[in-house]
Chains A and B, each alone.
Chain A
Amino acid sequence: EAQVTQNPRYLITVTGKKLTVTCSQNMNHEYMSWYRQDPGLGLRQIYYSMNVEVTDKGDVPEGYKVSRKEKRNFPLILESPSPNQTSLYFCASRGGPSTDTQYFGPGTRLTVL
């Protein structure tokens, strides 16, 4: 089944403790992206990647890191999480420049205490 998977689905952590949220897609998509969803703010793009080893900032990249070492995986790294990073995070993928449809993962709910 074609899908985008994220792990973990739920995470409660404390301020300053490094964490990684994994994202993997099995559709051989070139493009991948991370979003955060907050009430009243909708979805905001954190980072995106248009190819292996190619990443770029979205609208809210501060406090986040990403890497794209292989095509299928695009982990989101929070080196020193803070409470304002408490949010619902979505990973998405898109085939490439000639496609438009994004496929979203199920989401990761992160709480930073």
Chain B
Amino acid sequence: AQSVAQPEDQVNVAEGNPLTVKCTYSVSGNPYLFWYVQYPNRGLQFLLKYITGDNLVKGSYGFEAEFNKSQTSFHLKKPSALVSDSALYFCAVRDSGGTYKYIFGTGTRLKVLA
């Protein structure tokens, strides 16, 4: 069975510092991995995805994620955090078999302090 874990409920970081939001996964077969962001009172917005190719994936708003197959991780990173990055972040994995089944993590609240 597929699963996704986000071990941190909340991450606090000072503005201008680098940030990391952690995600580990468990899948059979090749992983299709995603990061989504949710701002207050809004739906989720797509940030980036890993399907195949380079282990470092670049996405929206300056975010990137590093795929590590040996550690089964897909951590979200940004070199310099902004206060406006404060939001709820979800990691997700999709079934590679062509269905529309997704498994989401429990979410990590990022708080960037001015």
Contacts and interface: CB of A to CB of B under 8 A. Distances in A.
Interface of A: 4, 31, 33, 35, 40-45, 48-50, 56, 58-59, 90, 92, 94, 97, 100-107
A3 B66 CA distance: 30
Given A45-B104, A48-B101, A97-B98, 8 more contacts: A44-B104, A50-B100, A56-B99, A59-B103, A100-B32, A101-B46, A102-B44, A106-B43
Interface residues of B, number: 25
A49 B92 CA distance: 18
Contacts of A31: 100
A50 B102 CA distance: 13
B107 A33 contact: no
Interface of A is mostly: strand
A104 B45 contact: yes
A39 B105 CA distance: 11
B20 interface: no
A44 to B, nearest CB: 7
